[in-house]
Amino acid sequence: MKSFDRAHWVKIGIVVVYIAIIASSYLFLFKHGIPMRAVPRLMQHTIAETGVFGPLALIAFYIASTIIPFPTAAIAVAGGALFGPWIGTISVFLGLNIAAAISFWIGRYFGRHLISENERGWVKKYDDLLSRQGFMSVLFMRLLFFPFDVVSIGSGMTRMPFRQYILGSMIGCLPSTLSFVVLGKSFSSPRTWVLFTVLMCVSIAIALILRRSAWAKKHIFIQPALSPKDFEKDV
**Structure confidence by residue, pLDDT tens digits, 53-99:** 989 999 998 988 888 777 778 888 888 888 887 888 899 999 999 99
Q: Tell me what pLDDT residue 195 has.
A: 67
Determine, yes or no, domain membership for 8: no
Of 106, 109, 161, 157, give the one whose Cα is nearest residue 131.
Answer: 161
- Count Cβ atoms within 10 A of the Cβ of residue 34 and give its class: 0-12 exposed, 13-18 middle, 19 or more buried: middle
- Overall domain count for the chain: 1
Q: Tell me what pLDDT residue 122 has.
A: 60
Q: Tell me what pLDDT residue 101 has.
A: 94
Determine, yes or no, domain membership for 27: no
For 18, the enclosing helix (H) or strand (E) is helix 2-31
Q: Tell me what pLDDT residue 166 has.
A: 93
User: How many whole angstroms separate alpha carbon 194 and alpha carbon 185?
Assistant: 12
Looking at the chain, which runs of residues are DSSP E strands?
none
- Count Cβ atoms within 10 A of the Cβ of residue 3 and give its class: 0-12 exposed, 13-18 middle, 19 or more buried: exposed
Q: Is the pTM of this model over 0.75?
A: no
Residues in the chain: 235
Determine, yes or no, domain membership for 11: no
Q: What is the mean pLDDT of residues 143-170?
A: 86
Q: Tell me what pLDDT residue 233 has.
A: 47
Determine, yes or no, domain membership for 185: yes
pLDDT at 217 over 70: no
Determine, yes or no, domain membership for 14: no
Determine, yes or no, domain membership for 20: no
**Structure confidence by residue, pLDDT tens digits, 21-51:** 777 777 877 777 777 667 777 788 888 888 8
User: How many whole angstroms separate alpha carbon 164 and alpha carbon 140?
Assistant: 13
Q: Tell me what pLDDT residue 234 has.
A: 45
Least reliable range by pLDDT among 79-83, 101-105, 204-208: 204-208
Determine, yes or no, domain membership for 77: yes
